[in-house]
C-alpha cells in the first residue's frame, strides 16, 4: 500500500489533492493509496517518526510499496500524474509539457513561494521553523503581486494558462492566489482575468472539496 501524507489546508500538499481531483479521483477512495493527515497545529511534521521518513519535515510525502520516499510536491505530482487518470495535466506533447513547466515554475517561484515566505516570516506559528525577518514580509508580498500581472496578461482571452485544458500550471497559480488571501492579497482584485480564473478554479477545487471526510457515526 502506498501512503500519501498531507495537510489539506497547506498549498504544497493541496497540489497533489487537486491534481487527483482534476482527474475525477477522490484521494480518500483510492484502493492503493492510504492517506495520512498531518496536523501542523500539533507539529506532527516535526515528530521523530515523520522526520525519520522526511528529514525536511514537510508535506506532501508519498511512500511507495517498495519503500521509496518521494518528499517533494513536484515529484509526488509527477508520479500521481503518470500513474493515475487518463490525461496528463503536465502537457499532452513536448511543446505543451515545456509550456506547462515554464508557467508552473513562474507561478511557483514568483507567486506562491514569495507568499509562503511572507507567511513564514510573519506568522507566529512559524517562529520555531524560520528565523523571522519582518522586513522581508512586504517586499515578498509586493514581488508576488508584481508577478501576478504577468498571469493577468497571459490569461487575457484564455480560460487556462496553456492550451484549452486545465494543466498543473493552473493548479499552482490557483494555489498562489488562494494562499494570498491569508496575506490580504485579494485574488479578485488583481485584474479581471485573474478574478475570473480564480472563481472558476475555486468553484472546482476550494479547500472544502478536498477536505478530510467526516466519519459516519451511524
Contacts with ligand GSH by CB under 6 A lie at 10-12, 45, 57-59, 72-73, 126, 129
Is the CB of 72 or the CB of 152 nearer to ligand GSH?
72
Is the CB of 59 or the CB of 90 nearer to ligand GSH?
59
Is the CB of 46 or the CB of 95 nearer to ligand GSH?
46
Q: Least distance (Å) from ligand GSH to the CB of residue 59?
A: 4
Contact indicator for 59, 10 with CB cutoff of 8 Å: yes
Is the CB of 126 or the CB of 143 nearer to ligand GSH?
126
The CA distance from 163 to 78, in Å, is 19
What are the two backbone dihedrals, phi and then psi, of residue 117, each rounded to the nearest 5 degrees?
A: -65, -45
Q: Least distance (Å) from ligand GSH to the CB of residue 115?
A: 11
Q: Least distance (Å) from ligand GSH to the CB of residue 153?
A: 26
The CA distance from 121 to 144, in Å, is 15
Q: At what angle do helices 168-180 and 113-120 cross, to 10 degrees?
A: 30
Contact indicator for 158, 194 with CB cutoff of 8 Å: no
Q: Least distance (Å) from ligand GSH to the CB of residue 73?
A: 3
Q: Least distance (Å) from ligand GSH to the CB of residue 200?
A: 23
The CA distance from 132 to 58, in Å, is 18
Is the CB of 57 or the CB of 88 nearer to ligand GSH?
57
Amino acid at each position: 500500500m502506498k501512503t500519501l501524507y498531507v495537510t489539506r489546508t497547506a498549498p504544497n500538499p493541496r497540489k497533489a489533492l487537486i491534481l487527483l481531483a482534476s482527474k475525477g479521483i477522490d484521494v480518500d477512495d483510492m484502493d492503493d493509496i492510504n492517506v495520512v493527515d498531518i496536523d501542523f497545529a500539533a507539529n506532527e511534521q516535526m515528530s521523530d517518526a515523520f522526520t525519520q521518513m522526511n528529514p525536511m519535515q514537510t508535506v506532501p510525502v508519498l511512500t511507495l510499496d517498495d519503500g521509496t520516499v518521494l518528499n517533494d510536491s513536484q515529484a509526488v505530482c509527477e508520479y500521481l500524474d503518470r500513474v493515475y487518470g487518463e490525461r496528463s495535466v503536465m502537457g499532452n506533447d513536448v511543446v505543451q509539457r515545456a509550456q506547462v513547466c515554464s508557467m508552473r515554475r513562474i507561478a511557483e517561484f514568483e507567486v506562491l513561494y514569495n507568499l509562503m515566505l511572507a507567511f513564514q516570516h510573519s506568522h507566529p506559528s512559524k517562529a520555531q521553523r524560520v528565523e523571522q525577518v519582518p522586513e522581508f514580509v512586504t517586499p515578498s508580498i509586493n514581488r508576488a503581486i508584481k508577478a501576478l500581472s504577468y498571469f493577468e496578461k497571459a490569461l487575457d482571452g484564455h480560460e487556462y494558462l496553456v492550451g484549452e485544458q486545465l494543466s498543473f500550471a493552473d493548479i499552482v497559480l490557483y494555489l498562489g492566489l488562494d494562499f494570498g488571501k491569508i496575506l490580504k492579497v485579494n485574488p479578485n482584485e488583481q485584474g479581471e482575468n485573474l478574478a475570473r480564473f480564480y472563481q472558476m478554479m475555486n468553484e472546482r477545487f476550494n479547500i472544502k472539496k478536498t477536505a478530510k471526510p467526516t466519519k459516519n457515526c451511524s
